[in-house]
């Protein structure tokens, strides 16, 4: 009896390792358990690649077709994540509510509304070739309005909860605290694509242009600072991969679209070449982060909570313990 039990234990413990897809999870359905709002950053990062390509001042053969494919991928990813997140809230409501109380994860509640607005803008810029202009405008208005409302709620609720429900230590501040207040800015940026379809006066366009040049200068300054800090951190080995790496894509993409708008309004070569150079950087960052995300998702590693061991590693640890004993 004991011999049969001893022989069956390794086989049972090694069962997850035989499953190649989501092999780091004990059960495939556990992928929904810890699915947080940070996953929507992948939609933001992918969608902005398409949007930036569609509005780039320089055109290359096949670029619009490739951008349309990327937009379609971002749209499908958004639909899949919305469905998966609904399952997460239905089956694991305790974990979902815990995300709202978590000091880091709660900052990503601005990601879903920004994902909606990003895909909406791509629908207007690229999807109109597929579904028609009228339908594209309707979809963009719907996603932009929904994202704007949800973004304003996140911009209010998350900081309010931080102030009233948690006592933060002086050294607890980090860059993610700015995440909840970003959606209203994205609403302004993505809403600019709807201006031609809603009617706008010259005064409004002049104000946008004057504000845009100043903001672009600050954006370039902070981009240089962020790049220097990131390189320094990576060299010290303190930058392990996780979903926050998608934060390297969306800000760069907004710099591309901002540079493109300024290039169109001013005709300055500075903004044209800045948009092209930033787009090359954006695609490179998106490719690296996208491949790392796909690999982690297929293994199931990215669906585990922080610090949790991978199930696939259990048989190896068990063998090492037995060998040592």
Do 273 and 262 touch, CB atoms closer than 8 A?
no
- The reported pLDDT for the residue numbered 59 is 83
Lowest mean pLDDT among 17-21, 33-37, 92-96, 244-248: 17-21
d(CA 57, CA 185): 23
- How does pLDDT run across 116-162, given as a tens digit for each residue? 999 999 999 999 999 999 999 999 999 998 998 898 888 788 877 77
The arithmetic mean of pLDDT across residues 280-287, rounded, is: 92
Contact 71, 126 (CB under 8 A): yes
| Residue (of 214, 215, 106, 235) closest to 160 by Cα position | 106
pLDDT reported for residue 308: 63
Mean pLDDT of 268-285: 90
Q: What is the pLDDT of residues 198-209, one digit of tens each?
A: 655 665 565 566
Compute the mean pLDDT over every residue in the chain, rounded to the nearest whole number.
79
Average pLDDT for residues 27-41, to the nearest whole number? 84
User: Which residues lie below 8 Å from residue 250, measured CB to CB, with a gap of 6+?
Assistant: 41, 44, 45, 48, 114, 118
Question: Quick check: 181 pLDDT over 60?
Answer: yes
**Residue 76 pLDDT:** 96
Q: Is residue 215 exposed (0-12), middle (13-18) or buried (19+ Cβ within 10 Å)? A: middle
User: HSE of 276 in the Cβ direction (CA atoms, 13 Å)?
Assistant: 9
pTM comes to 0.66
């Amino acid at each position: 009896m004991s011999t049969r039990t001893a022989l069956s234990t390794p086989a049972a413990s090694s069962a997850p390792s035989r499953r190649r897809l989501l092999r780091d999870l004990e059960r495939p359905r556990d992928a929904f358990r810890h699915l947080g709002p940070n996953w929507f950053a992948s939609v933001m990062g992918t969608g902005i690649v398409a949007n930036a390509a569609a509005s780039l001042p320089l055109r290359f053969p096949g670029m619009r077709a490739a951008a349309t494919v990327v937009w379609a991928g971002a749209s499908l990813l958004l639909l899949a994540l919305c469905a998966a997140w609904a399952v997460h809230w239905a089956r694991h409501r305790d974990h979902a509510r815990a995300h709202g109380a978590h000091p880091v994860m709660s900052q990503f509640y601005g990601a879903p509304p920004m994902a909606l607005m990003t895909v909406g803008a791509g629908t207007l810029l690229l999807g109109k070739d597929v579904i028609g202009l009228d339908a594209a405008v309707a979809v963009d208005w719907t996603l932009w309005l929904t994202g704007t409302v949800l973004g304003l709620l996140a911009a209010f609720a998350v900081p309010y909860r931080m102030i009233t429900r948690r006592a933060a230590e002086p050294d607890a501040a980090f860059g993610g605290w700015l995440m909840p207040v970003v959606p209203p800015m994205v609403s302004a940026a993505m809403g600019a694509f709807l201006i031609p379809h809603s009617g706008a006066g010259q005064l409004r366009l002049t104000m946008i242009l004057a504000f845009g040049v100043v903001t672009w200068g600050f954006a370039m300054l902070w981009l240089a600072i962020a790049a220097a800090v990131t390189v320094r951190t990576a060299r010290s080995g303190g930058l392990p991969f996780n979903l926050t790496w998608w934060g390297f894509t969306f800000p760069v993409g907004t710099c591309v679209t901002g540079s493109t708008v300024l290039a169109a309004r001013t005709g300055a070569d500075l903004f044209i070449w800045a948009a092209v150079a930033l787009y090359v950087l954006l695609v490179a960052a998106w490719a690296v982060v996208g491949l790392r995300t796909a690999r982690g998702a297929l293994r199931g590693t990215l669906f585990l909570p922080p610090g949790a061991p991978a199930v696939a590693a259990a048989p190896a640890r068990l063998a090492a313990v037995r060998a040592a004993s």
